[in-house]
Amino acid sequence: MKRIYGVLESCILVMIGTGILWFSLSDQYELLMNAKFRPLTVSGAALVLLLGVATVLGRRKGLGANMFVFAVMLAVVVIGKPYLPAVGSIDQTDPGFEAALWEQVDLARYPRVLLLDLSSRQPSEEVSPGKSVTTVGVVKRLEGLTERTSFALMTTFMYCCLADAVGFGVRVQWDDLSSLKDGQLAIVSGTVYDEAASIRLPNFRSGRAMVSSVNESRYLVADQILSYHQEDQLPTMTDAISGPRKERFGRALTAAGTWSELAGTDRYTVFVPVDLAIDAMDGLKPGEMPLTALESFVSAHIVRGDYSLEKLVEAGSVRSLSGGIIKVRSVNGETTVNGSRVLLKNRRTRNGVIHFIYPVLSPDVSALDP
């Protein structure tokens, strides 16, 4: 039985070594790996192949050889995986993505299509040459394309059999490249063309994508590009406060007339009591308070300006919209504001930051320890 297992192991090693060696010497290597790591992959493949051949010939390998093979293969996987600066990966199904920019797109003239369909080797009829379309992707500036007033528009796709995503993209011709930054999310409206690229389009890493390639023939001539800045990709302050486990404070904001102010452009820091904190309040709850008391309660949890938890700790105290002082303390890694624990910190939004707390803020800071 051991002999059978030994022969089976030898055959597997030979097959793996041969396959990796063939792949590492082929033109397909750069589709999956960074070319500068080709020598490492070749070395690992040759080593596995030699060990397989040696075991077929009856040579026994010891523990040291096994450990060496394991170390080399681990290096091939970890070090050899392509790594170039990531451009970022955006979940285009996120509700925050559907922003007002789409209202500026003439979807009757430029119907929306998936970038994956546009960059595919077998695109659908709706993205055939001559069609006018609108698509969404991440801007990737590539040296060879910049010289031709173009950039790559990328998206990612997760294959079921891979532990990582694969990136696909198309060239976009656009004269004003200075208006776009690497990694920006962009809505592109334009006309589809089909013409083989006169330059070799490089492989690169894009966001979570292990493989990133640009369609060599299909490209877009853009008529309009609407680009998201990083902050535009964040939720609004009101969106971040809405939802399960924090909806009671959201209702209090609405009743106090503060909701619309937080939806504006001014920047705020809001200490949002979770629902359990409001349920645990002594006396009147926000829904039972008269309007004046409710306005005071809500304002006591809002600070004008953008303060991360680190900035709050550094400042030591801040003044709320109600005029009260909010003292900030950090002891053994736990931060409190007026004695309330910060449960979740630094929830970034388009116009400020939110910290979720329990219990509600105490307005009487004089009662706190100095």
Per cent of the chain over pLDDT 90 is 27
CB 9 within 8 A of CB 55: yes
Query: What pLDDT, on the 0 to 100 scale, is given for residue 328?
Result: 94
Residues 123 and 243 in one domain: no
Handedness of CA 128, 131, 135, 140 (dihedral sign): positive
Q: Which domain holds residue 137?
A: 95-231
What's the pLDDT at 61? 54
Q: Is 61 inside any structural domain?
A: yes
* Mean pLDDT estimate for the chain: 77
**pLDDT score of 160:** 43
What is the Cα–Cα distance from 141 to 43, expressed in whole angstroms?
Answer: 33
Domain boundary among 231, 247, 268: 231
Residues 106 and 126 reside in one and the same domain: yes
Same domain, 194 and 262: no
Residue 101 has pLDDT above 80, yes or no: no
List the structure tokens of 336: 């409190």
Give tens-digit pLDDT for 148-188: 899 999 887 655 444 455 778 899 999 988 888 887 888 99
131 lies in the same domain as 53: no
Task: With cut-offs at 50, 70 and 90, classify the pLDDT of residue 81.
Answer: very low
Let me know if residue 11 belongs to a domain. Answer: yes
CA distance 121 to 215: 8
Residue 307 within any structural domain of the chain: yes
Grouping H, G, I as helix, E, B as strand and the rest as coil, residue 355 is strand
Distance CA 218, CA 296 (A): 59
Residue ranges with strand state E in 73-146 = 132-140
* Main-chain phi, psi angles of 42, to 5 degrees: -60, -45
Number of structural domains (the chain) is: 3
Q: What is the mean pLDDT of residues 100-115?
A: 83
- The residue that leads in pLDDT, 258 or 223, is 223
The one-letter amino acid code at 47 reads L
Query: What whole-number distance in Å separates Cα of residue 7 and Cα of residue 55?
Result: 8
87 band by pLDDT with thresholds 50, 70 and 90? very low
Evaluate whether residue 282 is within a structural domain: yes
Helix 291-299, helix 247-256: angle, nearest 10: 120
pLDDT band at residue 334 using 50, 70 and 90 as cut-offs: confident
Is residue 125 domain-shared with residue 216, that is, in the same domain?
Answer: yes
What single DSSP character describes residue 177?
Answer: G
Confidence of residue 320 (pLDDT cuts 50, 70, 90): very high
In-domain check, residue 264: yes
Read off the pLDDT of residues 13-26 as tens digits, 9 standing for 90 and up. Answer: 788 778 778 877 77
Is there a domain that residue 84 lies in? no
Q: Tell me the one-letter amino acid at 136.
A: V
Say how many C-beta atoms besides its own lie within 10 A of residue 271's C-beta. 23
Same domain, 268 and 347: yes
Range with top average pLDDT, 255-264, 278-287, 298-307: 298-307
* Size (the chain), residues: 370
Let me know whether 139 and 73 are in one domain. no
Same domain, 287 and 211: no
Residue with tokens 């083989």: 196
68: its two tokens:
């060496």
- Together in a domain, 10 and 110: no
In sequence order, which residues have a C-beta less than 8 Å from that of residue 70 and are 6 or more positions away? none
Domain limit, last residue, from 231, 253, 287: 231
Q: What CATH number did the domain enclosing 202 receive?
A: 2.40.50.140
Indicate if the pLDDT at residue 318 is higher than 80: yes
Q: Which of 30-34, 208-212, 235-239, 323-327 has the highest mean pLDDT?
A: 323-327
- What is residue 82's three-state secondary structure? coil
Asked which of 231, 266, 299 is the last residue of a domain, the reply is 231
Can you tell me the distance from the alpha carbon of 151 to that of 180, in angstroms, rounded to the nearest whole number?
Answer: 9
Average pLDDT over residues 260-277: 88
Residues 133 and 206 placed together within one structural domain of the fold? yes
**Range 305-326 average pLDDT:** 92
How far is the CA of 8 from the CAs of 3, 4, 11, 45, 55, in angstroms?
9, 6, 5, 18, 10
Q: Are residues 221 and 253 in the same domain?
A: no
Q: Is a pLDDT exceeding 70 seen at residue 95?
A: no
Same domain, 225 and 246: no
**Which two tokens mark 356?**
């979720």
- 75 has a pLDDT exceeding 80: no
